[in-house]
Every structure is written in structure tokens, then in C-alpha cells.
Amino acid sequence: MKKLFIAALLLGVSLAACSTRTPAKLGADAPADKVPNIIGEYAVNGFDPLGEEYGGRLTITAGEKPNEYKMQWLVTGGVHEGVGILNGNQLTVAWKSLSGPIENVSGAGLYTVTVNGELYGTRSIDGTENPGTETVYPNPK
């Protein structure tokens, strides 16, 4: 039990450290017909609908249909999963939380893809009026 607690504490500290990074300047929006491949690992910086800053990691993998992507966020103490549909340079996402402080919560997101493969946009929680904002940066391979 002690080892599990220490592992969880270390994970929380490392994810919290991600939120203190200075955001890099984003590339221009990708042309709708020349969107870079978005499959990969990303660093996440965001603000939830209440204005609380968070950070973490996002993994995007191929979905079962064309232009469909599976997404998994590991963000400040929680795990969220979702599915995104890419239309031009716009990625529309439906997500739900699996664990953490907002367990059993769901929402939607809308991201724009840049020429550098970054994604930026909004991520909302069902039942809240205002969305949060999120920017994700590709991790180098």
C-alpha cells in the first residue's frame, strides 16, 4: 500500500510540473487539405472551466474508422478517454473521465490542428456553461 501511495504521489508531482511550463508559440492553422498526422504523444497545458490550470499527457491513436482517433489524457490526478473525428483541420471530441477528482464526468472538445501538429481549442464539461481551454504540443520522437 505504501508503494502504491508513493507511486501515485510521484505521478501527481510529475504531472503538476507539466502545468508550469511556459507555452510555446503555436504554428499557423493547418490548411484543411494538408493536416499533419496527429497520431502520437503530446504534452498538455490547459485551464478547466473554473480557470484552474492543469497539465499532463495526451496519447492519440488511430480509431476504427477513417478520420477517427482514440484519445487518452493523463492529467493532474485523472485519466480521461475520448474519441475524436477529424474534419479538415478541426478535431471534434467526445470524452469521459475514468478516474481522478472528476470521475464519471463527460464532455466535448473542439481543437484546431496547426502546421506543426499542435492542437488548441476548448474542452467542456457537460453541465457547465463555459468551456476550458487546452493546448497540446507533440513530444519529439
**Against a cut of 0.75, is the pTM above it?**
yes
Among residues 114, 118, 91, 90, which one has the least CA distance to residue 23?
Answer: 118
Q: Mean pLDDT score of the chain, rounded to an integer?
A: 84
pLDDT of residue 20: 43
Q: Are 54 and 60 in contact (CB under 8 A)?
A: no
Q: What tens digit of pLDDT does each residue of 43-63 get? A: 999 998 888 899 999 999 999
Beta strand pairing call for 53-62 and 78-87: unpaired
SS3 for 7? Answer: helix
Q: Which domain holds residue 114?
A: 2-138
| CATH number of residue 122's parent domain | 2.40.128.120
Residue the block writes with cell 498538455:
44
In angstroms, the CA 125 to CA 55 distance is: 17
Domains held by the chain: number = 1
82 vs 16 pLDDT, higher one: 82
